[in-house]
A and B are shown apart, each in its own frame.
Chain A
Amino acid sequence: MAVLPPGLNQSQFNTALTRLRQVVGSEWVLSSDEDLVAYQDFWSPAPAPEDRLVPSAAVGPDNVEQLQAIVQIANEFHIPLYPISTGKNFGYGGPAPNVSGSIVVDLKRMDRILEVNDKRNFALVEPGVSYNDLYKHIQDNDLKVWVDTPDPGWGSPVGNTMDRGIGYTMSYYRDHATAMHGLEAVLPNGEIMRTGMGALPGSKTWQEYRYGFGPDPAGLFPQGNYGIVTKMGLRLMPQPRHWRTGMITVPKRRDLGPLIDVVNYLSDLFMIGEPWYGSPMRVLLEDHEFRAAATRRGGADEAEMDRWAEKAGLHSWQVELQFYGSEGTTLANWNFARELIMDAVPGARAIDGESLAVPLTSEQIASNGAPYASNMRRNVTQGVPGLGIWKYLGRTEAMPEAWAKGHLGFFFIIPRDADQVFQAQHVFADALADVGIPSTITALTTPNNWNPFCFLFSAGFALVEGNAAGSEEGSERVRETGMQAMLEKAAEYGWAEYRAGPHFQDAVSSHYSWNNYSLRRFNETLKDAIDPNGIIAPGRGGIWPANYRNRG
């Protein structure tokens, strides 16, 4: 299974491995087939072994000095490196490299929590720290801050941020790239650089004023390949005193418009945490006639959908809101939300959820005491990382039969606007139907509001749930046709994917083409200057160094 780095013969590679062992110790240089199983992507949309991206080796540094030495060796031998934090970016490539033959730089041993400050509300961590680790540290030290966590807590705040991952609490914190405040990175030439106020020796505000003076290159590191991040600052949400929920329902299909407008207003005034949109009409999808109406090519008929809702005694749309603060402020904000929607939509209802003192007990987190069927995963709304999201899921080489439970991350950025949602519902479903791929996207599919100022419309889960990727043949069709079809169709409407694994990075990047790819050319110019040997994650984010660009 193991392959050689591009352009190296076995003898050269053996010499490089010997040099690496001298840096980190033999125990932390992995090169056998069995060892490298841990660095495969078992969620790869390319199940055929010859299509999978595999490393030549993996190396585990314990500190920045060792990492610098690794980078120097990589430059000397022109070996591409692929850094991972905890390597849990499943659905987006996981621990596997962008280029076969790369050496994976496994940063798990760099797992120090350097500072957590619960008066000024920030943390400084190394890449090997997981959300579970940071949460435990906060709990063990009785610190009054929350970590905004994605669904599986085994990921790394650094790793997650480096792919612009998200969470579920208040807007500033759940957009992890926004919450990032100050980086330290080893550059491709082996130097260490600190961004923002970190460039001031003895700085007291590295995690508090992210920009420093002059241009701020911190934004080059998420989804980029300009260096290996060794420390990252992040803002932490102060622990609120109270958490309150409520659901707003609106009767008609068209009411989604004013509902979204009200939620946008509340969100942009920082009054609510992440809203959870949904529709109770999903239960009607078991009816063939309704399903036909909800998957009609070109979009559902609004009047027809309203007739179905009325006949079933269901509202068309709902949103679950969550409020953080004190008992009084959360009640005032909920009352304000209620007032706004009642003014905006005839027939809207506002249903009280729960009103709970923070921290919630484990029983309160596990249960759903709201007087309505809630879709919220409570632990993530409380900054409590967990592994429960994997219940009933999972796929590894040991369980290759679990095809239908895979995870294909595809989310398109669309505006927070009902007409755009309605359009996306039929555009993606029709695009997949045109290439013979079933999906679960219907006229009831609602977007996520993870990033505060846009919607993310899911397309990948729909592919997997529809079992389009549930077979070897299906997986190939997903990769070669389904995703290409959706990417091309999305671009026609001014939408695009925000994140992609190695197999799709170039395809996604190809649509960011404004002014003859001026953004990509800018990034490539930087890449060639900063990383002339092209050793750091070539191809990540669609940025290829000069020595790869002409390979085709």
Chain B
Amino acid sequence: MVNRRAFIKTSLVMSTLSLAETSLADVLSKEMEKTYPTLDHFLLDQRLSSHGSLVQSLSKQRLPLLSVNGDVTDLWTDTLAPEWKQAPATLAGITGSDVLFVLDTLARDHRMRLMHSTLLPEKLALPGGDALEFHHWIVAPHTMS
């Protein structure tokens, strides 16, 4: 089961920090270790301005990192679909809302739920005046009632 107190604490921390802060990675990884000893994957969006520094920091924590750049197709087909077909998994990430939308939707089909999502300060400007938002999120197995 998810430790909701840890989630809330993590989200509060993240909402007050700039993603450029590498200490963010330390905080995040420590929270994840406490709560998810069996974290299957941690997704980082390559469109994040601090992607490089986050990869460096989180790699040191030996988190199982995966990268994505908005299109989830290959990640889904090559990695997540075969795994989730066998069993639900625990997945966390810092990604655009588009990636989160796709994974949230797929997770529901595989007895998993979006357990936590926090909107982050960083936005990516898009053509036409729109902006892509980024979220920190956690998807985990859901026990049906």
- Check if A390 is an interface residue, CB within 8 A of chain B: yes
Q: Which residues of B contact A32 (CB under 8 A)?
A: 144-145
Closest 8 CB pairs of A and B: A394-B101, A388-B71, A386-B73, A391-B70, A38-B108, A32-B145, A387-B73, A394-B98
Q: What CA separation (Å) do A30 and B142 show in the bound complex?
A: 12
Q: B101 touching A395 by the CB < 8 A rule?
A: yes
- Check if A402 is an interface residue, CB within 8 A of chain B: yes
Q: What CA separation (Å) do A87 and B105 show in the bound complex?
A: 10
- Check if A449 is an interface residue, CB within 8 A of chain B: no
Q: What CA separation (Å) do A386 and B81 show in the bound complex?
A: 13
Min Cβ gap B4→A in Å is 14
Total A-B residue contacts, Cβ distance less than 8 Å: 80
Question: Among the interface residues A86, A132, A387, A388, which one has the most CB atoms of the partner chain B within 10 A?
Answer: A387
Q: What CA separation (Å) do A405 and B102 show in the bound complex?
A: 14
Q: B101 touching A396 by the CB < 8 A rule?
A: yes
Q: Which residues of B contact A86 (CB under 8 A)?
A: 109
Q: A30 touching B135 by the CB < 8 A rule?
A: no
Min Cβ gap B120→A in Å is 12
Q: Which residues of B contact A373 (CB under 8 A)?
A: none
Q: B114 touching A398 by the CB < 8 A rule?
A: yes
- Check if A153 is an interface residue, CB within 8 A of chain B: yes
Given contacts A34-B145, A386-B71, A401-B133, contact A136 B98 (CB under 8 A): no
Q: Which residues of B contact A88 (CB under 8 A)?
A: 105
**Chain B positions 41-61 with a Cβ under 8 Å from a chain A Cβ:** none
Q: Which residues of A contact B104 (CB under 8 A)?
A: 396, 398
Given contacts A35-B144, A132-B81, A399-B100, contact A388 B73 (CB under 8 A): yes
- Check if A404 is an interface residue, CB within 8 A of chain B: yes
- Check if B72 is an interface residue, CB within 8 A of chain A: yes
Q: A132 touching B77 by the CB < 8 A rule?
A: yes
Q: B71 touching A399 by the CB < 8 A rule?
A: no
Min Cβ gap B92→A in Å is 14
Q: A154 touching B126 by the CB < 8 A rule?
A: no
* Chain B contact patch, size range: 20 to 34
- Check if A392 is an interface residue, CB within 8 A of chain B: yes
Q: Which residues of A contact B132 (CB under 8 A)?
A: 392
Q: B145 touching A394 by the CB < 8 A rule?
A: no
- Check if A27 is an interface residue, CB within 8 A of chain B: yes
Q: A399 touching B101 by the CB < 8 A rule?
A: yes
Q: What mask results when residues 121 to 145 of chain B are scored 1 for a CB within 8 Å of chain A, else 0?
A: 0000010001011010100001011
Min Cβ gap A444→B in Å is 16
- Check if B84 is an interface residue, CB within 8 A of chain A: no
- Check if B11 is an interface residue, CB within 8 A of chain A: no
Q: A394 touching B97 by the CB < 8 A rule?
A: yes
Chain B residue nearest in CB terms to A391: B70
Q: What CA separation (Å) do A540 and B33 show in the bound complex?
A: 49
- Check if A527 is an interface residue, CB within 8 A of chain B: no
**Chain A positions 123-168 with a Cβ under 8 Å from a chain B Cβ:** 132, 136, 153-154
Q: What CA separation (Å) do A402 and B133 show in the bound complex?
A: 9
Min Cβ gap A355→B in Å is 26
Given contacts A86-B109, A132-B81, contact A30 B100 (CB under 8 A): no
Q: What CA separation (Å) do A153 and B73 show in the bound complex?
A: 9
Question: Among the interface residues A108, A136, A405, which one has the most CB atoms of the partner chain B within 10 A?
Answer: A405
Q: Which residues of B contact A392 (CB under 8 A)?
A: 70, 96, 98, 126, 130, 132
Q: B133 touching A404 by the CB < 8 A rule?
A: no
Q: B71 touching A402 by the CB < 8 A rule?
A: no
Q: Which residues of B contact A388 (CB under 8 A)?
A: 70-73
Min Cβ gap B78→A in Å is 10
Chain B residue nearest in CB terms to A154: B106
Min Cβ gap B79→A in Å is 13
- Check if B76 is an interface residue, CB within 8 A of chain A: yes
Q: What CA separation (Å) do A404 and B132 show in the bound complex?
A: 11
**Chain B positions 21-74 with a Cβ under 8 Å from a chain A Cβ:** 70-73
- Check if A357 is an interface residue, CB within 8 A of chain B: no
- Check if A393 is an interface residue, CB within 8 A of chain B: yes
Q: Which residues of A contact B76 (CB under 8 A)?
A: 132, 387
Given contacts A38-B108, A132-B81, contact A394 B73 (CB under 8 A): no
Q: A136 touching B77 by the CB < 8 A rule?
A: yes
Other A-B pairs, 10, CB within 8 Å; known A387-B73, A394-B98, A396-B104: A27-B144, A35-B145, A390-B102, A391-B70, A392-B96, A393-B98, A398-B114, A399-B100, A402-B101, A405-B130
Q: Which residues of B contact A395 (CB under 8 A)?
A: 101
Q: Which residues of B contact A108 (CB under 8 A)?
A: 109
- Can you give 7 A-B contacts (C-beta < 8 A)? A32-B145, A88-B105, A394-B98, A394-B102, A398-B104, A399-B135, A402-B133
Q: Which residues of A contact B126 (CB under 8 A)?
A: 392
Q: What CA separation (Å) do A393 and B96 show in the bound complex?
A: 10
Q: What CA separation (Å) do A390 and B130 show in the bound complex?
A: 15
Given contacts A86-B109, A108-B109, A398-B114, contact A390 B145 (CB under 8 A): no
Chain A residue nearest in CB terms to B109: A108
Chain A residue nearest in CB terms to B145: A32
Q: Which residues of A contact B114 (CB under 8 A)?
A: 396, 398
Min Cβ gap B145→A in Å is 4
